[in-house]
Structure 1
Amino acid sequence: MTTTAPSEPTTFHDPHKHRRITYIIVAAVAVVLVILGLAMYNRAERNQAAEDKADQLIALFQAQDLPVPDRDQIIRVFGDDGGAMCDDPGNALKKAVRDGLGSNGAAGPGQRPVFIAQRTIEGEKLALSVYCPDQLPAFQTYVNGLDLSDVVKG
């Protein structure tokens, strides 16, 4: 009978250690992304100009007998510069969203165009006139191509 000398101990990689390192790296990347997101987040400013423009928009909505959103909500969404609404309101994506709102809500072959409520467009035109009047002519050109109707009653 022959005996063999004990061999060198085999070193195995600890899978738990590799997972731990992976978790630490993923957590660090997530923390960096959250910090970058918070630093880059552009929140609508609440200042006197934002409050004045919100009051002006509310007055215009009331004069046209349109439903008036909450004043604080208007200030949060539009701020003092109109927010996303004034960032090229005539671009293709925004047109596609508006056109999609002018459908029956079905998907696929059941989707059909419907008349867009005149009041909806009037509300958007009023908001544009307050926050970014320079964008109003381009929006009006877009609206001229729509089939509008008085389908919504206040």
Structure 2
Amino acid sequence: MDFEENLLKLEEHFYQEGFEEGQNENLHNNFMEGKQFGLQVGFQRYVLLGQIVGLCDILDSLDLQNIMLTKNIASVRKLIDGIEMNNDEKNVEQLEKTLVKLKNKFRTILLSFQRLTKDRKLKKHLNFDDVDDLSRMIGGKMQTFVEDEDVSEAKTTQDQMHEW
């Protein structure tokens, strides 16, 4: 009888040890997946900003001597410099508002550039849709969705299901 009781305790001990080991491994894997997901989403959010800055640098280097173009480029740089790159709810909401302004201002820059270079017989002008498509190709697509969360009163679309 004492022998059977020891066997049951031993079995329970190994069961508990295996359970804890599996739980710890799961926690580690979830942490790594969360880290990878966060890096991917962060990259996808900011790749367009990097492209805009790069294209503004190129347009500046062309020295087109257009006051409005130079002013718009400076305005875009100022908007980008004002973006806080963290995941605070307030900053995410501000980022989404700033992105709308940036996209519209950058469209204006590209249109101005097209007008300035229309006599150069370029086969195709760069437009914002081309830049946006390229950033989506580079960043890739990721479906996101948070379960069991009421998004009807959400201030941002950050955690709602959509392609990033």
CA radius of gyration, larger in = 1
Could you say which TM-score interval applies, normalised by the shorter chain? 0.3 to 0.5
TM-score by length of 1: 0.33
Q: Point out the structure with the larger helix share.
A: 2
